[in-house]
């Protein structure tokens, strides 16, 4: 018995040693599987992303909506114009803002008392809010405990917004000449797509009349782009600059999204082939480079050289906007093209190859372009900054001062997610792959959202004076919601 007991004890010790070795091996394997530049414990990224989105939704539905909504309308001048509001118009704006805040008692909510020239400040933030609320409810990550607003109230608030802004679109007032009705403007397809996508995700829960207003809005904006819109280029086919200091890449990318949405919402429409053809041409034009003019490269069955008449992106992947070699507009083009990809993903439909055209070159431009070619003081540095050992930091820079203010890291995080999911970083060294930058930008973004004001985490990206964009908070949230679709989203219900 004594010998048997000793053998059993030796066997138990041996088993324990084997188990310890196996656990150690698994630990090493897991560590090696992480980025070579990141030895920190992995985060439950999806859960943390969802938490951060709900923090910002809490800000949107509890602070921006009732308390700060007035700022959307009350700006005396538009960002893009010096036109002053009349006293009568200002009073109408204030009254409509109060009705907006007291949404439960406002049966008719005419919130858009702004001329079409001033509509960006009024409509764009609302359109982003609809997009973000709609996606959170559709995908089920809306968290009542964090947001502090019941799910059904959030849905009702979102429909209220949809009914209001879609109802104020020119397509729903065809006989009117009043300039309060928006549409047919340089940015209206962007707003219409955000509004309509949020509506489409809540379609079965909305009143038929609201759905009809959205349908008319989508078709009107899609038809205008298809039949009455000439594609603009920063450079023409001969290489001459047409719009000095102002790429048209981001405008084309955001305009194109409404065509993508029209195609998936109304696939049986007789106009769908025309919408799809113009969509592909606009997407390719948005990211076309001088070398693409006359190119034999095939995209979606067509020669690129036959689809474009100029270019909007420099051959190094950079773009010029606001007379600057501008990091935010490189990121915006990636973001807007990614939004078209997200639309098709939500619909469970094949994504046109045009939606990814040259995106690898733009993303690589963020990481690899030596800024010394634009400013000798920045020699050896890139838009995405590395440390002294060449490792990603998460910080960003650009030639000249960014005229939007402090960075909104959510858009760079989105660019990294897009690059990783589409393998846009194939030609980039291992230590600077999109996944590594994604980790760094996520940390920066998390730090922004976790800051406290008066001892409370507000869920805001920007503190007072940090960013000059009227839609800043909601645009950042839009980027997170889009990243969620690209990284974790499944097909529509």
DSSP string across 2-19 = HHHHHHHHHHHHHHHHHH
pLDDT interval class at 470 (50, 70, 90)? confident
Considering only residues 395 and 156, tell me which one the structure prediction assigns the higher pLDDT. Answer: 395
279 and 295 Cβ atoms separated by less than 8 Å: no
135 and 478 Cβ atoms separated by less than 8 Å: no
Residue with token string 């802004």: 165
147 and 106 Cβ atoms separated by less than 8 Å: no
- 8-state DSSP, 384: E
Q: Read off the pTM.
A: 0.84
Residue length of the chain: 493
pLDDT at 92: 54
As given in the structure block, the two tokens for residue 125 are 């933030």
pLDDT at 70: 44
Considering only residues 453 and 307, tell me which one the structure prediction assigns the higher pLDDT. Answer: 307
In percent, the amount of the chain with pLDDT more than 70 equals 79
Over residues 277-306, the pLDDT tens digits come to 999 999 999 999 999 999 999 999 999 999
DSSP string across 361-387 = HHHHHHHH--GGGT-GGGTT--SEEE-
187 and 120 Cβ atoms separated by less than 8 Å: yes
pLDDT above 90: residue 110? no
- 8-state DSSP, 148: -
pLDDT at 42: 47
Weakest-pLDDT range from 106-110, 116-120, 475-479 = 106-110
Over residues 166-202, the pLDDT tens digits come to 988 999 989 887 666 789 888 999 999 999 999 999 9
pLDDT at 93: 53
Weakest-pLDDT range from 8-17, 209-218, 391-400 = 8-17
122 and 185 Cβ atoms separated by less than 8 Å: no
- 8-state DSSP, 62: I
Phi and psi at residue 424, in whole multiples of 5°?
-80, -10
> Which residues does 486 contact at the CB level (< 8 Å), separation at least 6?
338, 341, 342, 345, 414, 417, 418, 421
Average model confidence (pLDDT) across the chain = 84
**Residue in 60, 87, 56, 59 with CA at minimum distance from that of residue 74:** 87
pLDDT at 345: 96
- Measured between alpha carbons, how far is 319 from 329 in angstroms, rounded to an integer? 7
- Measured between alpha carbons, how far is 262 from 152 in angstroms, rounded to an integer? 28
DSSP string across 294-345 = T---EETTEEHHHH-SEESS-TTS--EETTEE-HHHHHHHHHHHHHHHHHHH
Per DSSP, the three-state class of 388 is coil
């Amino acid at each position: 018995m004594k010998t048997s007991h000793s053998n059993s004890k030796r066997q138990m010790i041996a088993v324990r040693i084997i188990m310890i070795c196996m656990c150690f091996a698994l630990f090493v394997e897991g560590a090696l599987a992480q980025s070579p530049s990141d030895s920190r414990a992995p985060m439950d990224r999806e859960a943390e992303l969802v938490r951060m989105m709900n923090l910002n939704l809490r800000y949107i539905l509890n602070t921006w909506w009732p308390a700060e909504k007035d700022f959307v309308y009350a700006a005396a001048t538009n960002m893009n114009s010096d036109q002053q509001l009349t006293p009568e118009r200002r009073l109408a704006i204030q009254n409509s803002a109060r009705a907006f805040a007291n949404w439960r008692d406002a049966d008719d909510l005419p919130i858009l008392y702004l001329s079409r020239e001033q509509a960006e400040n009024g409509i764009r933030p609302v359109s982003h809010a609809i997009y973000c609320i709609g996606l959170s409810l559709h995908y089920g990550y809306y968290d009542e405990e964090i947001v502090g607003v019941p799910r059904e109230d959030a849905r009702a608030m979102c429909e209220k917004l949809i009914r209001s802004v879609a109802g104020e679109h020119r397509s729903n007032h065809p006989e009117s000449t009043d300039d309060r009705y928006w549409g047919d403007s340089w940015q209206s397809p962007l707003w219409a797509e955000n509004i309509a996508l949020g509506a489409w995700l809540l379609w079965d829960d909305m009143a038929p009349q609201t759905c009809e207003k959205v349908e008319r809005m989508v078709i009107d904006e899609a038809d205008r782009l298809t039949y009455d819109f000439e594609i603009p280029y920063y450079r023409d086919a001969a290489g001459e600059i047409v719009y000095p200091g102002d790429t048209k890449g981001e405008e084309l990318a955001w305009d194109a999204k409404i065509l993508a949405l029209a195609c998936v919402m109304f696939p049986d429409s007789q106009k769908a082939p025309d919408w799809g053809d113009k969509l592909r041409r606009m997407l390719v034009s948005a990211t076309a480079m001088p070398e693409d003019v006359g190119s034999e490269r095939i995209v979606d069955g067509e020669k690129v050289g036959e689809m474009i008449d100029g270019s909007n992106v420099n051959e190094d992947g950079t773009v010029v906007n606001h007379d600057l070699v501008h990091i935010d507009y490189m990121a915006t083009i990636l973001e807007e093209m990614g939004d078209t990809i997200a639309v098709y993903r939500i619909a469970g439909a094949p994504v046109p190859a045009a939606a990814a055209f040259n995106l690898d070159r733009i993303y690589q431009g963020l990481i690899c372009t030596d800024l010394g070619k634009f400013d000798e003081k920045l020699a050896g540095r890139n838009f995405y900054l590395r440390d002294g050992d060449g490792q990603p930091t998460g910080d960003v820079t650009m030639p000249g001062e960014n005229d939007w203010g402090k960075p909104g890291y959510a858009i760079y995080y989105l660019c990294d997610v897009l690059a990783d999911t589409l393998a846009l970083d194939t030609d980039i060294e291992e230590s600077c792959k999109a996944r590594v930058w994604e980790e760094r930008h996520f940390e920066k973004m998390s730090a922004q959202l976790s800051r406290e004001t008066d001892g409370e985490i507000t869920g805001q990206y920007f503190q007072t004076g940090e960013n000059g964009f009227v839609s800043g908070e909601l645009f950042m949230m839009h980027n997170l919601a889009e990243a969620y679709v690209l990284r974790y989203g499944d097909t529509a219900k």
